[in-house]
A and B are shown apart, each in its own frame.
Chain A
Amino acid sequence: MANADCIVIQGSNMAECHPVGFQWVAEAKARGAKVIHVDPRFTRTSAVADKHIPIRAGSDVVLLGALINYVITNDLWFKEYVSAYTNAATLVHDDYRDAEDLGGLFSGFDPETGAYDKASWAYAEGEGGTIDEPGAGSEHGADASARAAGHTFGSGGPALEHAQVQRDDTLQDPRTVFQIVKRHYARYTPEMVQDMCGIEVADFEYLARTISENSGRDRTTCFAYAVGWTQHSLGTQFIRAAAILQLLLGNVGRPGSGIMALRGHASIQGSTDIPTLFNLLPGYLPMPSAGRHDTLGDYLGAIASKKQKGYWADADAYTISLLKAWWGEAAREENDWAYDYLPRLTGAHGTYETVMGMLADEVEGYFLLGQNPAVGSAHGRMQRLGMSHLKWLVVRDLNLIESATWWKDGPEIESGELRTEDIETEVFFLPAASHVEKAGSFTQTQRLLQWRHQAVAPPGECQSELQFFFELGQRIREKLAGSDDERDRPLLDLTWDYPTDEHGDPEPEAVLAEINGRHLDGPDAGKPLSAYTELRPDGSTSAGCWIYTGVYADGTNHAANRKPGREQGPAAPEWGWAWPANRRILYNRASADPQGKPWSERKKYIWWDEDQRRWVGDDVPDFPVDRAPGSQPDPALGGPAALSGDDPFIMQADGKGWLFAPTGLVDGPLPTHYEAQESPVANALYTQQQSPARLVFPRPDNLSAPSAGSSGADVYPYVFTTYRLTEHHTAGGMSRWLPYLSELQPEMFCEVSPELAAERGLEPYGWATIISPRSAIEAKVIVTERMTPLAVGGHTVHQIGLPYHWGVGKNAVVSGDAANDLLGVTLDPNVQIQESKVASCDIRPGRRPRGADLLALVAEYQARAGTTIETGNRAVTDPAAEGIDPGTDSTMED
């Protein structure tokens, strides 16, 4: 980011939430870069930016779409980059119909399932056909959504059956991606931005001009976002919209370019790469789904085609090496490498479905591992009531968090909904080791693995997760030893023989070595692998997470590399290790022009050296190192061999950056604006109010507020958004127990504008009660001009800011009502992430009622608004307008 000429921070308050990372923004600014903050609130990020542009929460696609339109209409896009490196010239099949043609829905919407059949979005094939997904053909959106398939693109793009696309390099054919994108965003005008986002035309023009002036051969613009973009029913599409804009401006794969995801936990990137997630296996391989991946052949055939371009074509080697790492000698060719030891998905099994499974008494046991869902997950009440249905609960944490004590002092005990003496749940609290009491690696937000050395032994009975799970696995295996039950084979055959220290604890480096992988056969048997390109699909290699292969090359723990930054260049390759292959900027071949020369001296990074006949530069080239820029291999070769010299996106099935996504997304091939699940504003673009493919959960305990145009919308007239403070960490488990931090931010508050305070009679530093259809909470009132009332669609929209760090319990140094109790559960269909950055509420002065009166207040509002389980949960807002028989809209019955 320090190399950027313009930085747009949108969906993030970087200065407060990632303060030390923000030094690089400050550094860029000191060198003359423009910094623009787009956010509902004026924050410390805004304070040091060149400009703060207030935006209505949830309207980001309108703004980004208008920037795309501005760049195309004013001919400001980076023509050489776009023509060569993106799919702009690729032809999409005739059957495709845009949401602009169909009044708000893309072609293929299936009202029966409330999801898209994506087949008509495909690329055109030579003989009039379509280039489909490999394997069993196009996966229905409902199925892809259930397995959160969007999440599987963390290390590569969606699969195609082959890469022999049809192109029109003049970009004039109306079926080209470029023309489709141009038409799609034509109505996203500065006036639409003013009307939907509440952003003045002059502010929009400043933003558009600054971004485009700072893009091109000599200059680059960088975007940064955080959960302000992800936690929406349209979250994936917010980020996609930014990706389209950045590709059009040539801002991917170059110094100071890109879209930075500012992640919030020390190893949240690592826990996605090596996923403690239901839908993934390590390295973004999907968990197998029944019906789609029944055999290893089905699985490998569906996740990648040998005829597509790039390194994802070798997914068979990554998969079989993983099975060898887990099941060793028991994984043999004749049993398909123990593929059937893997359990199968049959739908969505994400954390919110799990909680609903608890309420249905299907889930008996639950482990909480350094996470506090009673405070940190959406709909806290549903979380706590769910846990009260468990037979047993294991909480492993440093402190007695609210998720460990809800049975004793949670809000439902106070309201009388639960009685401690009636709760059957057994609760185990196991104290955890802190980060300095164990050795291991975190993967930070730029894919960099950094090893921590152990400083001291854990106190008392504290244990690391490594110790605990190793021991738990040993106990389970001992207890099952001798079992002839076939279901126990995967546990008994599991490789679980890690070397231990004098206390019987496993060596973390031995686990890292297994993740890295080793040769199993031949002269190098037992030696660590040095690159994922060494992996083979024949059982001769093992690797627990293929993208991490190389971190333990030569038997050296490269995550522990610690050459001081001041002794290295800006890429600092000898500090830690970045996946893949220690590359610091992904797709960095795009930092050179199609001929292999740097786009400019100023933005020089990786280039083709004609004398050495290889790619060289300041980083590990993200390209076959000896593939010349002009190479045009036959695309039918498939895999890395098929990559042309101008295919920088080596993990994409066609080697190109995707402006239009012919597959991979379940809610549309292009981002298009829909309103949030709850919104006081009617969608000005279409009759269709919300994203038709969003995941709704119509249940009596998950009611939604009526949106604009429905009766009762005025009962919850305000928008609230949640956020973090510098002094606290998410649900507070690592901050509200620390006296220092608790003193700095002692109590829950809400931020409101002076206008809203006047409208509702809120006193500065007095109490306010905030009511949603799920719950009501109280907070101290901060009246501040940091909150701006916005003029949207002829109305004034007031937004309320709520930090979400506090929770109700008796053990923390500071406690308070939890903002997340106000939220309902509505999910993005690509990744199953909840919409928690925008929802509707009312606010009034005074403290909330106690006991049963609290429930009565919430019920009184629900009754006044007339909200039922059907409210806001229809997939298609006006079926008649979309030519759909209303009788077929089955979302209600889900």
Chain B
Amino acid sequence: MLRNMAPRSFLQWPVVRQVRTGDLLGRGPSVTSPRTKAIGPRTATADRVVQSVCPYCAVGCGQRVYVKDEKVVQIEGDPDSPISRGRLCPKGSASEQLVNSPGRQTRVLYRAPRSTEWEHLDLATAVDMIADRFIETRRRTWQQEDEAGRLVRRTMGIASLGGATLDNEENYLIKKLFTAAGAVQTENQARI
């Protein structure tokens, strides 16, 4: 190995390097390997940076999402945010992995009655099947009036749970659609 190395100049002696670079404790540039020097942060080579908000708790920390080749490569705290001033907790710091987690599901799955396994369905078919079930259940479980003859105009056959992790605009469409359908049992984590 040594035979292949170029002779070392005096200037590369460790002590000289430390003095020359001002790295007196020998923990900085004087001991940085060429490989380390060649590594740049993913944030520096990103194609664009997008402002976002952490999806975990309700503090609402600002995030900067770094995108390269249409993939999220890093998520960091946004120093502009007056709420978080650039900081993120362990969950917020891990949120790049929430997006790119190896276990994340990106295909529609369907489990038929009594089946022991999942199968794949295409998205359009799944949405169509859900719409059919929604209409059928609604029709079958419809209540026009209560026992006192008062209008109730609803179904107690359809329910939903979730919303605290969703956007306001999404909750708005969910509440609007379900209310128009008479599905009153719409709930989320705020009840819990």
Contacts and interface: CB of A to CB of B under 8 A. Distances in A.
Contacts of B179: 281, 326, 342-343, 490
Q: Pick the most buried of A268, A396, A425: most chain B CB atoms within 10 A of its CB.
A: A268
Contacts of A723: none
B19 interface: no
Contacts of B180: 326, 341, 490-491, 494
A871 interface: no
Nearest to A346: B146
B68 to A, nearest CB: 10
Given A343-B154, A368-B161, A726-B89, A271 B188 contact: yes
B152 interface: yes
A685 interface: no
Interface in A253-271: 262-271
Given A463-B123, A565-B85, A475 B128 contact: yes
A562 interface: yes
Contacts of A396: 162
B174 A276 contact: yes
Contacts of A455: 50, 52, 65, 67, 72
Interface in B85-135: 85, 87-92, 94-95, 97-99, 101-114, 116, 118, 121-123, 126-135
Nearest to A366: B159
A441 interface: yes
A811 interface: yes
Contacts of A734: 55-56, 91, 98, 165
Nearest to B178: A276
Contact of B159 (A367, A376, A407): A367
Contact of B132 (A438, A461, A479): A479
A305 interface: no
B132 A365 contact: no
A511 B183 CA distance: 21
A429 to B, nearest CB: 4
Contacts, number: 478
A263 B191 contact: no
B189 interface: yes
Contact of A434 (B55, B142, B156, B161): B55
Q: Pick the most buried of B71, B88, B157: most chain A CB atoms within 10 A of its CB.
A: B157
Given A421-B114, A468-B127, A453 B50 contact: yes
B53 A282 contact: no
B101 A737 contact: yes
A445 B111 contact: no
A405 to B, nearest CB: 9
Q: Pick the most buried of B98, B122, B166, B174: most chain A CB atoms within 10 A of its CB.
A: B166
A473 B177 contact: yes
A832 B181 CA distance: 24
Contact of A265 (B129, B164, B176): B164
Contacts of A459: 104, 106
A592 B56 CA distance: 36
A777 interface: no
A421 B114 CA distance: 4
Contacts of B98: 398, 434-435, 734, 738
B59 A487 contact: no
Nearest to B67: A455
A612 B51 CA distance: 39
B35 to A, nearest CB: 24
Contacts of A343: 152-154, 179, 182-184
Nearest to A326: B176
A460 B105 CA distance: 9
Given A407-B111, A438-B167, A479-B132, 19 more contacts: A267-B163, A267-B165, A271-B188, A290-B148, A291-B148, A294-B150, A326-B179, A343-B154, A343-B182, A344-B152, A349-B185, A367-B162, A371-B161, A400-B103, A436-B75, A459-B104, A565-B82, A737-B103, A739-B102
27 contacts: A271-B168, A271-B190, A274-B175, A278-B187, A287-B184, A344-B152, A365-B157, A368-B160, A391-B133, A394-B130, A400-B109, A426-B133, A429-B105, A430-B126, A434-B99, A440-B169, A441-B167, A441-B169, A442-B60, A453-B50, A453-B52, A460-B106, A465-B170, A490-B181, A494-B180, A514-B172, A737-B104
4 shortest A-B CB distances, which residue pairs?
Answer: A565-B82, A369-B162, A444-B60, A460-B106
